[in-house]
Structure 1
Amino acid sequence: MRELRTPTGIEGDDDSTEMIRIWLAHEDLHVSLLLGMWEDAEECEVDERDAWGELLADSIQHIANGLNQSHGWDKEQTIVRITNSLLKNTKCPTGVVTGSYVEENT
């Protein structure tokens, strides 16, 4: 099993929180999400749906930056291509979403 390293910059933050994990296994995507974090946060007036949109947008920026560094691809063109693919696959999914909401292990 291949796991990614923990990113630098989170050391020493006892409140650091993993928000999403995506695995490719058995020829399918497997996803684990921490839903409700923004909703549950004290004094947070952010809509959970908007927060996830921001998280995904920031992720696309990181992907474009990484592909620029690893493959030399233009960041802006990569952002447009990923965004177009995201919108296309959101409207016409290539796979079936299964599974259900599971309460966080405590």
Structure 2
Amino acid sequence: MQKRKYEDMRELTIPIETGGDEDATEMMRIWLAHDDLHVSLFLGMWEDAEDCEIDERDAWGQLLADTIQHIANGMSQSHGWDKDQTVAQITRSLLKHSDLPRGSISGGYVD
């Protein structure tokens, strides 16, 4: 098996709508590599903001809920699946897998 160079990795494009916003911030990156999930998160943005009174945990819940909506919308467009049914199925799966004991989460917080 030939190894790919880092430059050859399949990265997603940055949404065009973020252009021109000097406050645009990447919140998470998720990779499947070496048969495992690898995640990089920007934690603390809401908690550290002076003018923000939202609980960081609630903000991440909203971010994940919005992400599910985007996934369902994309699957509706690419696969023709019903958006509401897709949201419901992903949500059920999320709750089911949130309760299951998982393998150890490795890595740590990097400031």
TM-score (norm 2): 0.90
* Alpha-carbon distance in 1 for matches of 2:20, 2:82: 34
Match of 1:41 among 36, 49, 57: 49
Higher gyration radius (CA): 2
Post-superposition shift, 1:94? 4.6
Q: How many residues align?
A: 103
Give the % identical residues: 69
TM-score (norm 1): 0.94
Deviations 1:10-65 (A, max 9, x none): 11111100000000000000000000000111210000000000000000000000
Please, what is the CA RMSD of the aligned residues?
Answer: 0.9
Gap runs ≥5 in structure 1: none
**1:49-64 mapped onto 2 (5 Å cutoff):** 49-64=57-72
2:83 aligned with 1:75, yes or no? Answer: yes
Gap runs ≥5 in structure 2: 1-8
User: Per chain length, whose mean CA-contact separation is higher, i.e. which structure has more relative contact order (CA < 8 Å, sep 6+)?
Assistant: 1
